[in-house]
Amino acid sequence: MSETKSMNQQGFLNLFLTAGCDSFPHALRKSFLVAVWFAFLTFPIMVIKVNTIENTVVWHWHKIGYLAVAVFFGSFIWRWLLARKELKKDENREETRIESLLTRVQSHPVLKYLALGVLAAAAAVFPQVFNLYQTNIMISCLLYIVLGLGLNIVVGLAGLLDLGFVAFYAVGAYAYALCNMHWGLNFWFMLPVGAVLGALLGILLGFPVLRLRGDYLAIVTLGFGEIIRLVLENWGEVTMGPSGISSIDRPALFGVKLGVIGSTHYMYYIMIGLVILTIFSVNRLQNSRIGRAWLALREDEIACQAMGIDKMKTKLMAFSLGATWAGMAGVVFAAKTTFINPASFTFWESAIILSIVVIGGMGSIRGVIAGAVILILVPEYLRDFAQFRMLLFGAIMVLVMVFRPQGLISAKRKVYEYKVNTAGAANE
Amino acid sequence: MDYFLELFLGGLTRGSIYALIALGYTMVYGIIELINFAHGEIYMIGAFTGLIVAGLLTMYGFPGVSILAIAVVCAVIWAAAYGYTIEKVAYKPLRGAQRLSPLISAIGMSIFLQNYVMLAQTSDFLPFPELIPHFGFMESMGSIMSSSELVIVLATISVCVALTLFIKFTKLGKAMRATAQNRKMAMLVGINVDMVISATFVIGSSLAAVGGVLIASHIGQINYYIGFIAGIKAFTAAVLGGIGSIPGAMLGALVLGLTEAFATGYVSSDYEDVFAFMLLVLILIFRPSGIMGKEKAQKV
């Protein structure tokens, strides 16, 4: 037993040091060359800072040294990960440890309810235990879970890459802000209205563009998102332009206006409710007739049409159902921050939501939740590294696509289990 | 009439820059059917490299025209190196993966590069020195066209002619066309497809870098965000002309540049970017194959 273990370790070390190369010296030489290449590549932008007005220049030579060392070791890891991916390709994909733990808990009758109970209790007491700041962060995390699950319908289930998702979010937020400002409409009335507006806009946008293939669709939705933002910015008479709309009402509890603490807690519980509703509906949708049609469409459009699925209708459903959640989330966002302006709805917001879906695991509800928790909470607690946040988002998106295209927690396909016993019984 | 001419020549300049960027999109798409989202960032990196080199040379007292030449050459070298590396890191391991994977990887790369430049340099607008000299004979036309506009248009025309000849007559150009037509067949007749793909990225990136330095010198300021909008617009131009077609990209860029110039000149300058996006949406809806593109049957 211990022998095999040590052999495994040796195999691991061997693979790590020589992956993709003939021998260890070869690997060393390769890494060295890669380090030199990256030092050359990043030289002007990392090292030299010129000021063309005062004609001064600052050199940062040390940066390139750190970078070269990091790249040297990084290239070993890179090659090792690539080799491991090649090796794994032949075997049947095994579950990762987190996934198998989750499956075990879920399939165990007692453990499942125990885990759910603990989770529910923790969610219920969270605002009582932690301070207002933490609660606010948690609210935005929950908001991103809802957005992520909404986008997951479009990208993860139906396989339509939507880069303008933030447009629906913006429409929800502006709908609430404007109706509240002009007519004093309240939050609870506007929440469903936001959802309907999102869905309608989804159909309106979806109708002309859904004929397009994957990458064209991505660009058009991106353009559409930018159009919405530019209109919000420039149509000053209606939207107040770049300065935005302020002092939007927070939701009131049965007509009673709450203070800051009370309304934050209230907001938190509203979000918990909304997240549960979203998870429930997305889960039901996923296993419904339309959900299975989405999966089929994602895998092979032509085969799917041959099976008699109306492509147009199915895609439109995905678009509008995804947009519904964004519209609702927009209303909540406006009520939470009490101030909105077009700067909150840039392409980066779409990119963050997309990375939540991609990194968490496309098509997997648990994955999207994990993605939102990691991508929103971790940067909040690492405030010192806040400026590196988008840099890391970008790098992680590339790395996840290269090494783990299915995301952290991959979606599990429902497998039809055919039991011999029952089949025999049916034959009799 | 002067106003019309001014708008027309302004549109021509814009269109030239879009053409230089759009060529990279269209070449890459023609060969590996990928929208290289990071291409706009290459253009931005080219402009930054040009700025850094120009700043250094000015400080050491080089004469005017040589600064421009050296800045353009350096920008081309580094942008090409970035293009080459991006392909190796973010796209090559994904060949043969699902369609969405390389696209998402490309978006990630674009986000990464923007923030990399922002963190390494600055998030503010940087003033870009005026590198393009003023010609004496342009003085009389000063009100409708500046020397830098003339240089940009002429440079673009010569680059486009050179590229067309290159694609048509050289061995590498022929290999590129063969790979674009059918990658497997190209491999079978002994074309090193990996090399051809790398070469495509290198050439596309170099063109974008030329555009980056020229337009930055014309406008006079840059920041890390310029690649995003320029990239989308150039992509619009590529789609307008029919993606995958090199003359199409040039024509599409011209149409887009002129449309924008006239729309901002006669309608409203607030909605400058909206016009470009509207044009993109309309083309994709009504003629997704573009002006010069071929209608492609879907293979089963």
The whole-angstrom separation of Cα A397 and Cα B86 is: 14
Whether A62 shows a pLDDT value over 90: the answer reads no
Distance to chain B for A122, nearest Cα, Å: 34
Interface touch B94/A402, C-beta < 8 Å: yes
Residue from A40, A49, A52, A362 to probe the interface with B (highest B Cβ count within 10 Å): A52
Q: Using a CB-CB distance cutoff of 8 angstroms, which residues of chain A are in contact with residue B298?
A: 302
Instruction: For residue A302, give the chain B residue with the closest CA.
Output: B300
pLDDT at A352 over 60: yes
Q: What is the pLDDT of residue B47?
A: 92
Running along chain B, 300 residues long, what does each successive block of 10 average in pLDDT?
82 89 88 86 92 87 82 93 92 81 87 90 83 72 75 90 91 91 90 92 93 88 86 85 83 89 80 80 76 60
Contacts of B111 in chain A (CB under 8 A): 348, 351, 390-391, 393-394, 397
Contacts of B97 in chain A (CB under 8 A): 401, 405
Quote the pLDDT of residue A405. 79
- CA dist list (Å): A134 to A129, A252, A377, A381, B276: 10, 22, 10, 10, 42
Nearest of A135, A182, A187 to residue A331 by alpha carbon: A187
Q: Which of B60, B82, B104, B115 to mutate to test the interface with A (most CBs of A within 10 A)?
A: B104
Say yes or no for a CB contact (<8 Å) between B101 and A405.
yes
Nearest residue on chain B to A349, alpha-carbon basis: B111
Question: Is pLDDT at A268 greater than 80 in this prediction?
Answer: yes
Q: If pLDDT is split at 50, 70 and 90, which confidence band does A421 have?
A: low
Angle at B214 between CA B212 and CA B217, to 5 degrees: 105
Between A and B, how many CB-CB pairs are < 8 A? 174
The alpha-carbon gap from B267 to the nearest alpha carbon of chain A, in Å, equals: 14
User: Are A397 and B280 within 8 A, CB to CB?
Assistant: no
* pLDDT of the residue at B109: 92
Confidence grade of residue A9 (pLDDT, cut at 50, 70, 90) = low
Check: CB of residue A216 under 8 Å from CB of residue B288: yes
Among residues A115, A120, A102, A316, which one has the least CA distance to residue A205? A316
Q: What is the tally of helices (H) and strands (E) in chain B? A: 11, 2
Length of chain B: 300
Q: Choose the closest CB to A358 out of B34, B104, B232.
A: B104
pTM score of the predicted model: 0.85
> CB distance B35–A302 less than 8 Å?
no
Whole-angstrom Cα Rg for chain A: 25
Residue in chain B nearest A301 by alpha carbon = B300
SS3 for A306?
helix
**Beta carbons of B281 and A209 less than 8 Å apart:** yes
pLDDT of residue B296: 59
Asked if B224 has any chain A CB less than 8 Å from its own CB, the reply is no
Task: Say if residue A307 is exposed, middle or buried (CB neighbours under 10 Å; 0-12, 13-18, 19+).
Answer: exposed
Interface residue B70 vs chain A (CB under 8 A):
no
Specify the pairing of strand B221-222 against strand B126-127: antiparallel
Residue A301, pLDDT > 90, answer no
ipTM: 0.87
List all residues 6 or more positions away from B169 whose beta carbon is below 8 Å from its beta carbon.
none
A214 closest CB neighbour out of B55, B100, B113: B100
Provide mean pLDDT across the span A164-180.
89
- Cβ atoms of residues A335 and A218 within 8 Å: no
- Tell me, what's the pLDDT at A426? 46
Residue appearing with tokens 């070390």: A13
Is 3.40.50 the CATH classification of the domain at A130-403? no
Res A98 pLDDT > 70: no
| Alpha helices for B1-125 (secondary structure H) | 2-32, 39-59, 64-86, 100-120
**Every domain of chain A and the residues it spans:** 2-90, 130-403
Cβ contacts of B105 on chain A, cutoff 8 Å = 397-398, 401-402
The span from the CA of B85 to the CA of B112, in Å, is 14
d(Cα B215, Cα B131) in Å, to the nearest integer?
10
Please report residues of B whose CB lies closer than 8 A to that of A398.
Answer: 89-90, 105, 108-109, 112
Cα separation of B72 and A48, whole Å? 17
Residue A340 DSSP class: B
Min Cα–Cα distance to chain B from A41, Å: 7
Nearest CA to CA, how far is B51 from chain A (Å)? 8
Q: What is the pLDDT of residue A162?
A: 86
pLDDT of residue B76: 94
pLDDT of residue A303 exceeding 50, the answer is yes
Q: Find, among B181, B161, B191, B139, the residue nearest to B33 by Cα.
A: B181
Chain B residue numbers with beta carbons less than 8 Å from the beta carbon of A49 are 52, 121-122
Nearest chain A alpha carbon to B280? A220
